[in-house]
Structure 1
Amino acid sequence: MTTDLSLLTTAAEKWDAAAKDFEKVQKTYDSQVKSAGFDGSWTGQANMYARPTMQQTFEQYTSAAKEARALASLLRDAHTQFTELRGKLKSVVADAEKAGFKVGEDGTVSSATPSDRAALHDPDYQAELAKVASARSDWAQKLADMVNVFDDADHGVRLALTTAVQDTDLFDGTANGFNAKAEGDLEKVEAKETIRLAEKLKSGKKLDPEELAEAPWLFRDVAQDKKASQLVLDTMGPDGTIELANRLNGLAGSGDKSHKEAYDAIRSGLAGTVSAATEDTKSPFYEKWREGLRKAGTKNFGGENDPVYGYQSFVGLMEHNKRYGNQFLNDLGDDIIAAEKKDKAIWTKWRDHPGTASDPLDHLLGVMSGNPEAATSFLDPGAEGKNDHLEYLLKKREWPKVAMNGPGALLSRNDPTSQAGLGLAIEAASTGRTPLADGAQPDPEARHNEAQARVMHDTIEFLDQGTSTEVPANLRRPVANALAQYTVDTHDILSSTNADMIRNAERGYWDPDGTGKIHMAVRRDHLTQVMRGLSEDPDAYGTLHSAETDYIARELDKLPGDATRDSISSTLGKSGAALGAYSAIREDISNDHRSQAYANADWKTKVAYHIIGGLVTPLPVGPEAFRLGDGAQRLVDTWAFSMANDMKAQADAKANAEISDHYLDATNQLTLMVDGWAKEHQIDTRADAGKKHVESLTLQMLSNFTSGNKLASESLTDTGN
């Protein structure tokens, strides 16, 4: 951080001066020495032997000047690169300190911790400590990543300087002369060495120990520069890149465990090279590369009876990097769809090929979920509905099968991993955020734009099949995660009280005041039916129910202690109606599982544990982590802790299912939450006035429960139970 980088430019100036000196000496040598051997004044056998040596010496001065100027150029490149990287590192340090953390000279990140021992037993304090610890870890990782990039760049400069002073011409008559081919472009040096190692690997040879140590950082460093990345990929071409990816898959999956980490790192670096090279979609390189990839994507790189197509290997490679440009991801998705429409059976899975993506489109969608903006643009039907990607994926696509030999015939079955990537992409596209980690708590009041709301609306419409709606297993959790972040809208839709929601159900969204605060709108019966399909997964139902509970708690927390029944009828009524719909869904699941008593009990128990885990000990989600206000959190805790304590006392599945039924019953849940609200506002429920007031509020909520439950039940009639 404190190194004087200007010494690099000072050294560069001296090497430039040395080049000029070599050229001056060359002129003197040419006029006063070499001329004697070539102007005809000196003849004979001695001259015949001297002339080649004189020419060689003359050329060495040229090579020396070339080498010196290359070193000067490399040192200037190093100064530019190191200065830029140090600036980025300082920026990360400044951001960490702005966020309240202290960064030590050795890069350690620390934060102040209150010393009040009594606070250690406060649940809110413990939650805050966990949040701070998570953020501290994130900043430490960001700093470590930047330091690693700096270290890779330093290795690259050392490689370039070492290469520049090596005599690469074995036939110039000098064993260790000056380098006439010295390269002064840092990126080109790294790219050429990367290509050399890539070609060696691709040809089936193994890297020697020194090369294996060099390759990981070299591939990583090349991936930091667009020009170097494009040079590498342009030289290898799509075919060569795919062949190298296949070779690395084999090496990383072989029994050579001692070198697995190195080959994994090379593979990640190669994926990063693809990311950097394809970032500029307007470059001449991009169109050439894309056209080549279209051809290589449907080429069989495997055996006749065990095909491995280019797109399968290429997308498998992409999964080793976290982020790619929007346009590249969209273009690649378009090209894969075009390829599979020409050959619908092309992605049939015959056997596992580690490192490859058997269904490249689904795996690409998984990659796309890491870039929500790209996922949204790919799946958004658009204001005029011209983009049919989402409809194709949810309604029209024939998802690849797994082929297997049966008795006297070739059989096929569904791939258990099918649509996993699609689910993640829908979650990212409809929320504008990367998919939630397991245990993370969705924000029921998250904001969305028009495109995201259209994706959510159309997902519901395309999944809806009427009263018998079934949602593919791998879509349930991610779509529920996404829908939970629209709870502010589903709360209104399920209560059927918002006319704007009803009017805009076909359009899919509306902006109530023209401020860009977009709401998703969809038909209530379609929403209910899809929620029922999602709820086959108890964690999906738990996510939705938890988000609804969070939102009700927020709405209750806004109510003042002296609120009258009439003044808060809307808040209470909507909450009761929404929970009535959730009860209808839960009842329908139970009825459907009636002949499977264990499955029914297991579902209920899993729902309860999901809710307890999510509400009592929520997992933060990055710097914009969702967190209830203290008052609202206590309203949730009043209910959730009671359920948790009862669950802890039981080990029997049937008993736990009954406890789940008890606390998820809307009457009990609402009563406990309103009681918690009363305590928050110091309302004495033991006194007649306080007791009557709380009872009145509870009845207001429960009066709407019946209507909400009835409407939802009607939407689920004739489900085949």
Structure 2
Amino acid sequence: MKPFHKRAVIVGALVLTIVTGGAVTYAVVSHEEDPGCGNLLGEKPVQRILGSEHRTDMSCADLGEALRRAATGPVAGQHTLAQAQNMHDTIMVINEDIQQRRQPTIAEGLRGPITKALADYAGDSFEMLTAINPDYNHRRDSGPWREGAVVRMPVPLGDLVRVMRAASDAPSAYATLRAAQTRECADGLGALPAKVTDTEFRGPARDCAAGLGRFDAIADDLPENKRQDWQKAVLAQLADTAPKAPPASYGDDPAEHIMRTWQQGFTGADPDESAFMDDDISRLIDIWVKGRGEDPRSGRVKLLRAKAAGDASGTAGDTAAALTCTRHPHGSSCPLL
């Protein structure tokens, strides 16, 4: 990937000129204008992905749609190695731009298309956000690989989180990505057999909690002066896009029962900051154990709730620190995320 071009970053009334190889003066950054897409359009990975579609005068929306088309196919969640490589490079180049600017933001026109692409790779994102598949970490810099009939798309976890946070300035993007993550959770929970050990019983819910904790941190990273309206819009989208028909029975379709019950629960939800997605993993656990016919007051369910809450809190803390370090990268406590 080539070095970044000279460009101006506008922060309030202050202009910071960043020059490759030169001295850089930084200030505490609290707000940035829409960063636009000019710098991304000049990057070689973007030019390679777009090929003949590339134009230097593309709008951000057109750029985003072109990147999405290059990374996804006609069947949701199924990708060729070439498409997965395009998605890998898209995340990497957007992340590098974010880190150069020290702000986890992207142009407004990019948010929708990039969100659609991220949601199409929800299976990969789930495995990276929960850290359940070490192959993603081992291969994060070497690019996609084929595993049987499945193409895997790895990127560094921090890169993924920063791009997700940048897209999530749009509440519709956050709602879409959180629902996609929860769908992966529901699939894992619903697939657990009736008779399992206590360790096996705890596994899917704890994996789910670890991923959702990162989404909690992304929500908490939104500016306080915009957060309540943003939360209201997120909850409204989750409620409005929920299927209106009653959920299938757990016995007929466990994953669909969990997912639909979860999403329908947002109808009439309180957008107050203190209640936003409060203890979402416990709500999912309650839906799941009720469907399985487990006693929600049993010792193993109580222990699961406690451990899952701890898992969510831990990954939320790591993610919050990583986002802080995006803005202030030389802090002594910056995590290797």
TM-score for both structures, normalised by structure 1: 0.36
Contact 1:495 1:577 in 2 (8 A): yes
In structure 1, what is the Cα distance between the partners aligned to 2:276 and 2:191?
24
The one-letter code matched in structure 2 to 1:696 is L
Q: CA deviation at 1:610?
A: 1.3
Q: CA deviation at 1:580?
A: 0.8
Q: CA deviation at 1:569?
A: 4.2
Contact 1:460 1:526 in 2 (8 A): yes
Pair 582,389 (structure 1): closer, same or farther in 2 beyond 3 Å: same
**Is residue 220 of structure 2 the alignment partner of residue 577 of structure 1?**
no
SS at match of 2:295: coil
**Is residue 114 of structure 2 the alignment partner of residue 479 of structure 1?**
yes
The equivalent of 2:13 in structure 1 is: none
The equivalent of 1:154 in structure 2 is: none
Alignment of 1:255-270 (within 5 A): none
**Is residue 129 of structure 2 the alignment partner of residue 494 of structure 1?**
yes
SS at match of 1:521: coil
The equivalent of 2:72 in structure 1 is: 431
- Structure 1 residue corresponding to 2:173, chosen from 529, 532, 540: 540
Overall identity of the aligned pairs, in %? 27
Pair 468,426 (structure 1): closer, same or farther in 2 beyond 3 Å: same
Pair 670,681 (structure 1): closer, same or farther in 2 beyond 3 Å: same
> Which structure features the higher share of helix residues?
1
SS at match of 1:615: coil
**Is residue 263 of structure 2 the alignment partner of residue 640 of structure 1?**
yes
Report the RMSD for the aligned CA atoms in angstroms.
2.9
SS at match of 2:169: coil
The one-letter code matched in structure 2 to 1:675 is D
Runs of 4+ in structure 1 over 4 Å off: 718-721
Highest Rg: 1 or 2? 1
Deviations 1:193-247 (A, max 9, x none): xxxxxxxxxxxxxxxxxxxxxxxxxxxxxxxxxxxxxxxxxxxxxxxxxxxxxxx
**Is residue 65 of structure 2 the alignment partner of residue 451 of structure 1?**
no
In structure 2, what is the Cα distance between the partners aligned to 1:426 and 1:477?
11
Q: CA deviation at 1:391?
A: 8.0
- Structure 2 residue corresponding to 1:716, chosen from 314, 323, 337: 323
**Is residue 136 of structure 2 the alignment partner of residue 525 of structure 1?**
no
Q: CA deviation at 1:674?
A: 1.3
Q: CA deviation at 1:504?
A: 1.3
The one-letter code matched in structure 2 to 1:425 is A
The one-letter code matched in structure 1 to 2:87 is M
Contact 1:560 1:681 in 2 (8 A): no
Alignment of 1:137-286 (within 5 A): none
In structure 1, what is the Cα distance between the partners aligned to 2:131 and 2:292?
30
| Number of aligned residues | 276
SS at match of 1:561: coil
In structure 2, what is the Cα distance between the partners aligned to 1:392 and 1:715?
34
In structure 1, what is the Cα distance between the partners aligned to 2:227 and 2:288?
33
In structure 2, what is the Cα distance between the partners aligned to 1:456 and 1:520?
8
- Structure 2 residue corresponding to 1:662, chosen from 260, 270, 275: 275
TM-score for both structures, normalised by structure 2: 0.73
Q: CA deviation at 1:614?
A: 2.6
Deviations 1:659-710 (A, max 9, x none): x753523x2x21121111122122233xx5xx32322332332232123212
**Is residue 242 of structure 2 the alignment partner of residue 615 of structure 1?**
yes
Contact 1:565 1:700 in 2 (8 A): no
In structure 1, what is the Cα distance between the partners aligned to 2:64 and 2:186?
29
Contact 1:468 1:718 in 2 (8 A): no
Contact 2:71 2:87 in 1 (8 A): yes
Contact 2:191 2:254 in 1 (8 A): no
Contact 1:638 1:672 in 2 (8 A): no
**Is residue 238 of structure 2 the alignment partner of residue 605 of structure 1?**
no
In structure 2, what is the Cα distance between the partners aligned to 1:616 and 1:476?
25
Contact 1:565 1:696 in 2 (8 A): no
Unaligned runs of 5+ in 2: 1-36, 38-43, 246-251, 329-337
Alignment of 1:361-372 (within 5 A): none
Q: CA deviation at 1:450?
A: 0.6
Unaligned runs of 5+ in 1: 1-361, 363-380, 401-417, 435-442, 619-628, 648-655
Pair 397,717 (structure 1): closer, same or farther in 2 beyond 3 Å: farther
The equivalent of 1:562 in structure 2 is: 195
The equivalent of 1:704 in structure 2 is: 311
Q: CA deviation at 1:545?
A: 0.4
**Is residue 319 of structure 2 the alignment partner of residue 678 of structure 1?**
no
Pair 630,497 (structure 1): closer, same or farther in 2 beyond 3 Å: closer
**Is residue 299 of structure 2 the alignment partner of residue 692 of structure 1?**
yes
The one-letter code matched in structure 2 to 1:616 is P
Contact 2:50 2:67 in 1 (8 A): no
Contact 2:282 2:309 in 1 (8 A): no
Q: CA deviation at 1:503?
A: 1.6
The one-letter code matched in structure 1 to 2:238 is I
Contact 1:639 1:663 in 2 (8 A): no
In structure 2, what is the Cα distance between the partners aligned to 1:632 and 1:490?
18
Contact 1:471 1:534 in 2 (8 A): yes
Q: CA deviation at 1:508?
A: 2.1
Contact 1:449 1:516 in 2 (8 A): no
Q: CA deviation at 1:534?
A: 0.4
In structure 1, what is the Cα distance between the partners aligned to 2:145 and 2:112?
26
Contact 2:49 2:70 in 1 (8 A): no
Pair 423,433 (structure 1): closer, same or farther in 2 beyond 3 Å: farther
Contact 1:578 1:705 in 2 (8 A): yes
Q: CA deviation at 1:571?
A: 2.2
In structure 2, what is the Cα distance between the partners aligned to 1:634 and 1:704?
24
In structure 2, what is the Cα distance between the partners aligned to 1:661 and 1:485?
31
Contact 1:615 1:636 in 2 (8 A): no
The equivalent of 2:142 in structure 1 is: 507
